[in-house]
Structure 1
Amino acid sequence: MSMLTRAVPLLLVLALTAFSLGAAEAAPGETAPAQAQAATSIPFGFTLGDAQQPTTSHVAKLGSDIAFPPGTFDGALGGLTNTVPISGKLTIPPADGYFVAFRFMATTGRVEIIPDGDATGMATVKTGKDTNCKATQTNICADTDVTAKVFIKLSDAKVDGKTLDVGPNCRTAQPASVNIKALVPISLPAPPVKVTSTFTAPPFAGCVGHEDVSRLLTGLVSGPGNTFVSNLTLRCFSSGCKA
């Protein structure tokens, strides 16, 4: 790698640092120019999982895994200096799950992950060869700590091949809180980074068809020790992301 290529990330960090300091020295009551505020918001896009290694969620009580189609996490990083806010929209397509209830009863159902607002958190930007970042060309990483709050919705449930009417609004009464911590590269090209999170599934509510089966589903599914596992692959960063 040429000296010029290695110097680009450092120059970018230094430029943003100088810009941030200049904005902080504005007179009290002064508002930074709109373009200056926008410059500290850097868009990014990650892909979650792929056909070979899908995003999975392990349901502890049922001892079963749900494999989801590839999803996305698109948002913005609040700059490239120090510790900055990070937020984004998590999108995971629905998936069909197979479970064995009560250790003998074959159960199938469609599982949908519904975000409760944006995922938010903080990221510490790190540069240099001591970051343990697996970027292939430049050592620029973000040590991220992000929490996504999501409802878990169930539909098309069948038990031993017979329809279990859960109604159209069967989901957890409160959102589950999924915390994701990872050191991710923010320069391209970048290899995937495996992330694992453990979360508690809240009780279900609104599972009313011919009768209310919310308590039944709560007993089967809800509780601690569930896991969320995915490979995060950087898809775009900064000017490479579509508006």
Structure 2
Amino acid sequence: MRGQRAALRPSRAQTRGAAIAALVALAPLLPAAAVALGSHEVDTRLPYLCTLPSGPQTATVRIRATVPDRATVGETIEAADVSTTLELPAAVAAELTALEAATVRTETTLTVGVGQNGGSTDVTWLGTAQPAAVPAEGPLTLTSTGDVPALTTGTAGDLTLTAGHLAVGLAPSKADGTPTGPASLSLSCVPGPDAEGRTLLAGIPVTAGSTGTPSPGSPSTPPTTPSSPPASSPPSSAGSSGQPSVPAGRGTAGGPAGAPREPVSASGAGKGPRVATGNAPATTARPKAPPCVTEKPTSTSLSAYITGYSNVRKLDGASLIPVSCVQLEQGEPVIDFRPDGSIHLLQKSEGSLQYQGRKQSPPFTSTFLTFGFAPTTATLVLEQAGPLVVESDVLLVFPDNIAETYIRVPLVLRVLDAEVNGTPLDVGPGCRTVTPLASPEPQPAKYPGDHLVLLGKGQLLNGTDATGYVLTSGGPLTGEVTVPAFKGCGTGGENLDRLLTAAISGPGNHIRQIQGQTCAVGVEVPTEGQCTADRQPYVVPKPER
């Protein structure tokens, strides 16, 4: 211990992601019934080496799961009953005891390599645990259960799952329930030298089915177990042979906890803001923003702020859309191996705008020259008329991973009040567009009806942060919208529908929105610099034209 007991280092950035879309994307544990009949039990114990400030410590990691013993092309491959048990030596328990810790909560992020036919990528198996007692002496054993992405493949051939890096986040508490100082700690663990050749968790034969071609090798062979790995097993580190992998930067599924990051700024979300090293960087004051508190969050809850401009083509001006709260529940991430050899990470999430308990933006005021000469000021609000859907598709192409995210939401534009040349115009309580705003839809059969469509494109270069737009890190979103005709405008027999329709409604209105870094609301050990102390998004973006 170098002459004195060293304290564990506080976590600088507990990565809990969203796998891309992150918007990086987490699913609840799959029930046992979801596993195909004829399943295979994974139960592997591996020696790991964990990095602590006091020096490296040996540990034992036990990984348990239930996986299908075989699958066909296009079939979803799901794991169930997943758990990760970490046995740390007595020295670690002693360091926690020195901090007056009586219990400790745990989060784990296990990187699992997925390989097939020479290609590979990484996914993350996430785990959390209820507070466990810190033993007065002896080893510290922590068992977590967690979130597992589903897999699909469009190609026949054995699919392999291989254990890799394990990031561990700890939240120790004193006997009275108050946090210790530091309040969060992190460990970074890798398979030890004795684990070489033993990290294979399972091999799942994937056949083409009755109408396809036979798979390479012997699809009828039982799944390979860790006790007898094939001599030619691919290395567990994705990308080591130049194959696609999910990068470990922020906004990905596989970043290690405790990775050092640079401070985040309150603007420039579209330039890939980095994770801050504290909840409130001293160099940047957080701008004011409406409340964005998620009620009853889950482990897959995200929240973020969004703001920007929308052109009003008829009025030759732009309306500032205020900082608005968006809350999301991330869907299950799916790895899709396609027949052309490409590997995609797919995720679909749903959410809503939130303002004072309603699914809407805050009210905002815009001023234009109506018909080119009359100054008109209106107070507007965007009201959500259906689900907000986020679909992310990340093409994993080593070393660059290309992300494309579509956000779809039906929004009705409501006019609360108006003033023309200084004279109030009574629009009444029901002044709104006849239908939701409408954007060109690239998939009209899948997404019928009028709704806003925003597109974000980003790139994730291995070893660096995301550029452009990725759900979890934010960035610019663009689209084009048609403003429908208005109805219900006016009081006392005065019909203002035609006036507002003539002044505002029409196609070709460009929208540019900037989304800030997300906050993983329901995470037991929150990522520093991404959330405020009361679990609201820390980053408040600035609008960009």
Pairwise same-fold verdict (TM > 0.5): yes
The amino acid that maps onto 1:185 is V
Cα gap change, 1:76 to 1:98, in 2 (>3 Å): same
**Could you tell me which residue of structure 2 aligns to residue 199 of structure 1?**
481
Give the secondary-structure state (helix, strand or coil) at the position aligned to 1:25. coil
Q: Give 1 or 2 for the bigger CA radius of gyration.
A: 2
1:90: Cα distance to partner? 2.3
Any conservation in 1 of the 2:305–2:323 contact (CA below 8 Å)? yes
Question: C-alpha distance in 2, partners of 1:122/1:193?
Answer: 15
Question: C-alpha distance in 1, partners of 2:327/2:436?
Answer: 20
Question: C-alpha distance in 1, partners of 2:81/2:507?
Answer: 45
Worse-superposed segment, 222-231 or 106-115: 222-231
1:153: Cα distance to partner? 0.7
**Could you tell me which residue of structure 1 aligns to residue 306 of structure 2?**
48
Any conservation in 1 of the 2:432–2:487 contact (CA below 8 Å)? yes
**Could you tell me which residue of structure 2 aligns to residue 110 of structure 1?**
379
Give the secondary-structure state (helix, strand or coil) at the position aligned to 1:208. coil
Mapped pair 1:182 → 2:456: yes
**Could you tell me which residue of structure 1 aligns to residue 347 of structure 2?**
84
1:26: Cα distance to partner? 5.2
Task: Pick from 401, 418, 423 the counterpart of residue 157 of structure 1.
Answer: 418
**Could you tell me which residue of structure 2 aligns to residue 130 of structure 1?**
400
1:1-243 matches, within 5 Å, as 23-25=34-36, 39=147, 42-49=300-307, 55-82=308-335, 83-91=346-354, 92-125=361-394, 129-132=399-402, 143-176=404-437, 177-183=451-457, 184-185=469-470, 190=473, 192-210=474-492, 211-237=494-520, 239=523, 240=526
Question: C-alpha distance in 1, partners of 2:301/2:481?
Answer: 28
Deviations 1:64-106 (A, max 9, x none): 2111321122112212333232211124211111010111111
The amino acid that maps onto 1:43 is S
Give the secondary-structure state (helix, strand or coil) at the position aligned to 1:93. coil
Give the secondary-structure state (helix, strand or coil) at the position aligned to 1:175. coil
Deviations 1:155-189 (A, max 9, x none): 221111111111111000111121012143355xx
Cα gap change, 1:122 to 1:161, in 2 (>3 Å): same
Any conservation in 2 of the 1:185–1:234 contact (CA below 8 Å)? no
Question: C-alpha distance in 2, partners of 1:78/1:64?
Answer: 37
- Alignment RMSD: 3.6
Structure 1: give runs of 5+ residues left out of the alignment. Answer: 50-54, 133-141
Give the secondary-structure state (helix, strand or coil) at the position aligned to 1:185. coil
Higher helix share: 1
1:207: Cα distance to partner? 0.4
Cα gap change, 1:130 to 1:19, in 2 (>3 Å): farther
User: What TM-score, normalized by structure 1, do the two folds share?
Assistant: 0.73
Give the secondary-structure state (helix, strand or coil) at the position aligned to 1:181. strand
1:22: Cα distance to partner? 8.7
Any conservation in 1 of the 2:32–2:81 contact (CA below 8 Å)? no
Cα gap change, 1:186 to 1:150, in 2 (>3 Å): closer
The amino acid that maps onto 1:216 is L
Higher relative contact order (CA 8 A, sep 6+): 1
Worse-superposed segment, 18-27 or 213-222: 18-27
Question: C-alpha distance in 2, partners of 1:218/1:90?
Answer: 26
Worse-superposed segment, 104-113 or 208-217: 208-217
The amino acid that maps onto 2:385 is D
Give the secondary-structure state (helix, strand or coil) at the position aligned to 1:216. helix
Q: Would you say how many aligned residue pairs link Structure 1 and Structure 2? A: 210
Question: C-alpha distance in 2, partners of 1:61/1:182?
Answer: 26
The amino acid that maps onto 2:405 is T
Question: C-alpha distance in 2, partners of 1:21/1:144?
Answer: 32
Any conservation in 1 of the 2:394–2:401 contact (CA below 8 Å)? no
Any conservation in 2 of the 1:195–1:229 contact (CA below 8 Å)? yes
Higher strand share: 1
Question: C-alpha distance in 1, partners of 2:37/2:389?
Answer: 28
Give the secondary-structure state (helix, strand or coil) at the position aligned to 2:518. strand
Give the secondary-structure state (helix, strand or coil) at the position aligned to 1:218. helix
Any conservation in 2 of the 1:90–1:118 contact (CA below 8 Å)? no
Worse-superposed segment, 76-85 or 197-206: 76-85
Question: C-alpha distance in 2, partners of 1:66/1:48?
Answer: 14
Any conservation in 2 of the 1:109–1:155 contact (CA below 8 Å)? yes
Worse-superposed segment, 82-91 or 196-205: 82-91
Question: C-alpha distance in 2, partners of 1:47/1:224?
Answer: 27
